[in-house]
Structure 1
Amino acid sequence: MRQLLAVAAGLAVLAASACSAPTPPRPAGVAATPTGPATLPAPTGPHPVGTTALHLTDTSRPDPWNPDTEARELKVTLWYPTGQRGGRRAPYMTARESELLMKGSRITGAPYDTLSRTRTNAVEDADPAGRKLPLVVLSPGFTKPVSTLTSLAEDLASRGYVVAGIDHTYESYATTLADGRVAECLACDSDSDPGFGTGVVQGRAADVSFVLDRLTSGWKHSGLIDRSRIAMAGQSIGGAGAVATMVKDSRVRAGIDMDGTTYARIPESGLSRPFMFIGSPQHVPGGRDPSWDRDWKRLSGWKRWIVLSGAEHHSFNDTPLLMGALGVKPPADALPAARAAELTRTYVAAFLDQHLKAQRQPLLQEPSSRHPEVEFCPASCGRS
């Protein structure tokens, strides 16, 4: 249920869910003077970070959104540890991608190339370092490019993970393909159709399986990846895609849904691999979105359900970090951008360290006085 808005409601476009449970109206962000280019927070791990982009074509299936295309084209952005500390920092996105994203979101309070000037931390096309590292697949929310998960991706790479972020072509406002064409959001014309969410997550599961095939056997640096240690995390419908992928592909050992209504039904036999829900207060038990209540009962392995007080739907991606540059002021009661990024990075990394690196994490066992915004559900979770 993609919400379109005018510039005065710029925050609502960024902070409302695409394909998520309905959220009651709240005051939109007010226009403010843009602060200049955004700077992503520095990664917290010990390794410098490199990044590169791959353009992959799946000739085994047609594109689900473009009837004129007989194969599925995907852009995959990789982040990984590197020994290279100097070098050109990778662009956050191109000027054209920034323009299309801002226009699609109806944000007009800043120049259309604003997001292309966001400062990242990863060195473009740096040589990877290491071998047999765990792999984390990231999937973004509907209409959003995977670059909106860059802060999380850079942090995980600095901690010793290979991260593969997938741009699901025609499901975001802009994806630059191998020949320079920019694919726009064809799926946006269908998002009110019955069964839309279910179709999207099934397609994303197919995208992920294809990417895993290529990264673990056809990529020149496939030796970087430990095929036995693969996880997936996604925001919004990307989180729903993590559920769908785990149901279909046993290579994904663990999964995280960041504030996404789920659409893929878990079989009655259950899903026994580790899974974590982490979300905003709309996802408390018995809250506005019933899908987590339903799926929680069918998660039969290690599981956690965490809610961050004050979080918005997009507190789990880069959006809050970009609002100042876009000239949008968040609501006064929203979780501050830097804190939202810190909590997301901390709890996602703890989950992955426990389940892909076998490092027990006390942080995941009970509430922490250092993180009072974090509630463990369903036992001690209040309602918003």
Structure 2
Amino acid sequence: MKTFPLYYVFFLLFTLGTTRQLMAQPPGDSFVIGDLLPNAPELAARGSQGVGVRTITLTHQAQVDVLHTKDGKHPLYDRPLTLEIWYPARIPANKPTLVTYKSVLGRSNDPKRPLIPFTFSGRAARDAEPDLSAGAYPLVIVSHGYPGSRLLLTYLTENLASKGYVVVAIDHTESTYSDLAGFPSTLLNRSLDDLYVLNEIARLGAKTSQSFLSGLVDANNTALIGYSMGGYGALNAAGAGYSPQATKLFGQMIGGSTALDVRSMGSPSFKTSLDSRIKAVVAFAPWGMERSVWDATGLAGLTLPTLFVAGSQDDVSGYEKGIKAIYDGVVNADRYLLTYVNARHNVAPNPPPMASLLPGVSADEYMHYAEPAWNEHRINNINQHFVTAFLGIYLKKIDYAKYLTLPETDATGPWTGFKARMSVGLEMRHAKP
């Protein structure tokens, strides 16, 4: 574990203090990830419900271990998945509503980027009593990038919980900062993890369950949110079967393996795996199209309402031949494409951690989170606004259409829900089946 001299601590305290002044927060109320900037759009504000948060661990038994072979075959292994769950909660007046999250910078498999623990704050109460007064809440499953963690989008997960959703973020085994392993595991397991977690949360939410989720979650009304490789998996779980080219490339990566075939469009087992409880998808910068992961047939398999979010200069997933090509190709889905003009790939995560600014820390840790042409807090607020509108329409049947039915740019005036001059640099596309 890396330690830092005392002057690093003073550097952090100075930076935090400066950040508080710049954000012009009321006395005694430091700026927390997900809080509103003065130019935040209308639906970015938190909802009226208190937010609780808990951590649980599940084990997906007898899964294919694509990173190993035995006698020419992949062995099976039990796959642990740590989940962070945010939910509407009853918060006593005297209970703190700040939570401390623990994460790491770096890569477990890269000596040049050692793991560096850090903490950051959120607006939730650890292990708070669930609020069952409104009945069961829609379920939102969140999948991080490669590498990433279940805490990568806390600005959004907390915000949605405050608006009456149960939000479950997955630590995808072999794909987090702490346990990063071969890419084939991520290619195979993302959609499988999503579907397994859906089944398990439904089980834990049953009224006969002894879980804190009992009676709290309506898994029959579920959305998937994925970022980068999380978007890759979410689209597949929702119906976009992988192409023959994708399974061929997967086999070339690991000695002719056919393990990914089960997630291809031509597989009978893929079609039977599609789950009618999933009602909508949010895909931030989904990876794969530039690698021929999908063809026209596979993209046509996605029929669910989908919100794509992209940077026009994405150099990881690609834009014209990447994310926008997916948007154009899912011809059977009611879909939207929100584009941050001149943004690159980091249109989804929390802002860069303060620890990434410490002297001696690789600049890559800052750039893993940061956008070169956009303020990350600003992106967070805009994402809160549009995801609220999208899920409000498709999971809660709220009439938020005016926030999504927009001209492609704001050339004729600010978009609905935005302050004057504050929708510049954004584009919105919408296409129906």
TM over 0.5: yes
Alignment counterpart, residue 98 of structure 1, candidates 84, 98, 104: 104
* Structure number with higher relative contact order (C-alpha < 8 Å, ≥ 6 residues apart): 1
Q: Distance in 1 between matches of 2:397 and 2:196?
A: 27
Which residue number corresponds to residue 341 of structure 1?
380
Alignment counterpart, residue 91 of structure 2, candidates 67, 84, 88: 84
Q: Distance in 2 between matches of 1:46 and 1:157?
A: 10
How far the C-alpha of 1:296 sits from its partner, in A, is 2.5
Larger Rg, first or second structure (1 or 2): 2
1:182-205 CA deviation, whole Å, 9 max, x = no partner?
Answer: xx1122xxx4xxxx4xx6344111
1:53-81 CA deviation, whole Å, 9 max, x = no partner?
Answer: 11001114244447787211111110011
Which residue number corresponds to residue 27 of structure 1?
none
Alignment counterpart, residue 33 of structure 2, candidates 23, 26, 40: 40
Q: Quick check: 165-174 or 324-333, which moved more? A: 324-333
- Aligned 8 A contact 1:41 1:151 in 2: yes
1:129-177 CA deviation, whole Å, 9 max, x = no partner?
Answer: 1321011100001011121111110111111110000110111112xxx
1:220-266 CA deviation, whole Å, 9 max, x = no partner?
Answer: 11421113210001111111111011014322111011112235536
Alignment counterpart, residue 280 of structure 1, candidates 284, 306, 311: 311
How far the C-alpha of 1:127 sits from its partner, in A, is 1.6
How far the C-alpha of 1:294 sits from its partner, in A, is 4.3
1:274-314 CA deviation, whole Å, 9 max, x = no partner?
Answer: 01111111369x94543531452233131111101243322
Q: Map of 1:104-183 to 2, 5 A cutoff?
A: 112-113=116-117, 115-116=118-119, 118-130=120-132, 131-174=135-178
From the superposition, tell whether residues 212 and 222 of structure 1 become closer, same or farther in structure 2 (CA, over 3 Å). Answer: farther
Which residue number corresponds to residue 398 of structure 2?
359
Which residue number corresponds to residue 268 of structure 2?
none
Q: Map of 1:48-67 to 2, 5 A cutoff?
A: 48-65=50-67
Alignment counterpart, residue 305 of structure 1, candidates 329, 337, 357: 337
From the superposition, tell whether residues 310 and 343 of structure 1 become closer, same or farther in structure 2 (CA, over 3 Å). Answer: farther
Alignment counterpart, residue 267 of structure 1, candidates 298, 305, 316: 298
Say if 2:222 is the partner of 1:230.
Answer: yes
- Aligned 8 A contact 1:49 1:80 in 2: yes
Q: Distance in 2 between matches of 1:376 and 1:88?
A: 35
* Aligned pairs, number: 322
- AA in 1 matched with 2:403: L
- Aligned 8 A contact 1:234 1:241 in 2: yes
Which residue number corresponds to residue 424 of structure 2?
372
Q: Quick check: 313-322 or 225-234, which moved more? A: 313-322
Secondary structure of the residue aligned to 2:58 is strand
Q: Distance in 2 between matches of 1:276 and 1:358?
A: 16
From the superposition, tell whether residues 277 and 65 of structure 1 become closer, same or farther in structure 2 (CA, over 3 Å). Answer: same
Which residue number corresponds to residue 204 of structure 1?
190
From the superposition, tell whether residues 208 and 268 of structure 1 become closer, same or farther in structure 2 (CA, over 3 Å). Answer: closer
- AA in 1 matched with 2:170: I
Secondary structure of the residue aligned to 1:359 is coil
Secondary structure of the residue aligned to 1:293 is helix
Q: Distance in 2 between matches of 1:210 and 1:291?
A: 26
From the superposition, tell whether residues 222 and 100 of structure 1 become closer, same or farther in structure 2 (CA, over 3 Å). Answer: farther
From the superposition, tell whether residues 103 and 50 of structure 1 become closer, same or farther in structure 2 (CA, over 3 Å). Answer: farther
Q: Distance in 1 between matches of 2:338 and 2:158?
A: 23
- AA in 1 matched with 2:404: L
How far the C-alpha of 1:82 sits from its partner, in A, is 0.6
Secondary structure of the residue aligned to 2:347 is helix
TM (normalized to structure 2)?
Answer: 0.66
Q: Distance in 1 between matches of 2:146 and 2:89?
A: 31
From the superposition, tell whether residues 357 and 270 of structure 1 become closer, same or farther in structure 2 (CA, over 3 Å). Answer: same
Say if 2:231 is the partner of 1:239.
Answer: yes
- Aligned 8 A contact 2:63 2:76 in 1: no
Q: Distance in 2 between matches of 1:271 and 1:107?
A: 38
Q: Distance in 1 between matches of 2:222 and 2:319?
A: 31
- Aligned 8 A contact 2:228 2:286 in 1: yes
* Backbone CA RMSD of aligned residues: 3.3
From the superposition, tell whether residues 281 and 208 of structure 1 become closer, same or farther in structure 2 (CA, over 3 Å). Answer: same
From the superposition, tell whether residues 105 and 300 of structure 1 become closer, same or farther in structure 2 (CA, over 3 Å). Answer: farther
From the superposition, tell whether residues 304 and 140 of structure 1 become closer, same or farther in structure 2 (CA, over 3 Å). Answer: same
Between the aligned residues of both structures, percent identity stands at: 24
